Amino acid sequence: MPDLLAQALALPGLGWLLIIAFIAGLVRGFAGFGTALIFLPVAAQIIDPVWAVTVLIVMDLAGPAPAIPRALKEGHPKDLLRLVVATALALPFGMAVLFAVDPHLFKLAVSVISLIMLAALMAGKRFGGEVTPPIVWTTGGIAGLLGGAAGIPGPPVILLYMASSHPARVIRANTTAYLFFFDLMLLAGFFFAGRLAGMPLILGALVTLPNLLGNLVGGAVFNPRHESRYRYVAYLIIAASSMSGLYAALF
């Protein structure tokens, strides 16, 4: 363990991992989403793709943990349960893709997917009909596939909730809780697949503190009256991270 810790501390680019972990936590704290869209395009430039997803899982469990009791209280439990169960059923298929994909292709795919999801969010593309249980189940399945393959489960759920009649407080609560439970499921999946290596676990522990700090700061400054402003800030940061990943993958 001391040797692994020394190797982790000597990792080139560790400083960037710490910085992007804080920024991702900050956005998650005030917007309720965006951690993977911000963190993965940068992290995949520094470490192995599977390692990057592992670090994200460890970091993303601790960061929003203080907000989970409140999120469960304020959220919509039936929708949350449907999303989580559907994701659990689809997740193994997405993970199979992640374990088989070429690292360079992963970097490119994560950046492109992040940009596509960002464009959809900014354009307000949404489901136009009634948000029924079958739609929620389908969204959970898509999120499970996308989350398992690229570590980005959030956008399908966010796009669904943009069409719902729930108030912003409920949407933010359900999104926060869903992403937390997704990380628990993905961590369990990595464990049973024998993919929880020591180094990414230690890196995940190292970036947890700045991510937690970012979540706390973001949550403290959140004001529902200025929700649209927070969302636009999140969009800008996601765009910058995704473009940096795309540039690194192509050049």
Question: What residues contact 116, with CB distance under 8 A and at least 6 apart?
Answer: none
Number of domains within the chain: 1
pLDDT tens, 178-209? 988 999 999 999 989 888 878 999 999 999 99
Closest C-alpha among 176, 196, 48, 190 to residue 110: 48
Read off the pLDDT of each residue in 95-107 and give the average, rounded to a whole number.
88
Structure tokens at 178: 């869903």
User: Could you tell me the pLDDT band of residue 124, with boundaries at 50, 70 and 90?
Assistant: low
Q: At what angle do helices 77-100 and 133-150 cross, to 10 degrees?
A: 30
Residue 31 predicted with pLDDT over 80:
no
For residue 145, what pLDDT band results from cuts at 50, 70 and 90? very high
DSSP states of the chain as a string? -HHHHHHHHT-TTHHHHHHHHHHHHHHHHHHS--HHHHHHHHHTTTS-HHHHHHHHHHHHHHSSGGGHHHHHHHS-HHHHHHHHHHHHHHHHHHHHHHHHS-HHHHHHHHHHHHHHHHHHHHHT----S---HHHHHHHHHHHHHHHHHHS--HHHHHHHHTTS---HHHHHHHHHHHHHHHHHHHHHHHHHTT---HHHHHHHHHHHHHHHHHHHHHHHH--GGGHHHHHHHHHHHHHHHHHHHHHHHH-
Q: Cα–Cα distance between 39 and 55 in angstroms, integer?
A: 10
Taking a C-beta distance cutoff of 8 angstroms, is the pair 190, 196 a contact? yes
pLDDT in tens, 219-239: 887 776 766 777 778 888 888
The predicted structure's pLDDT at residue 39: 93
Task: Please give the residue range of the domain that contains residue 24.
Answer: 2-250
pLDDT at residue 55, rounded to an integer: 93
The pLDDT confidence band at residue 63, using thresholds 50, 70 and 90, is low
| Residue whose pair of structure tokens reads 């869903």 in the numeric block | 178
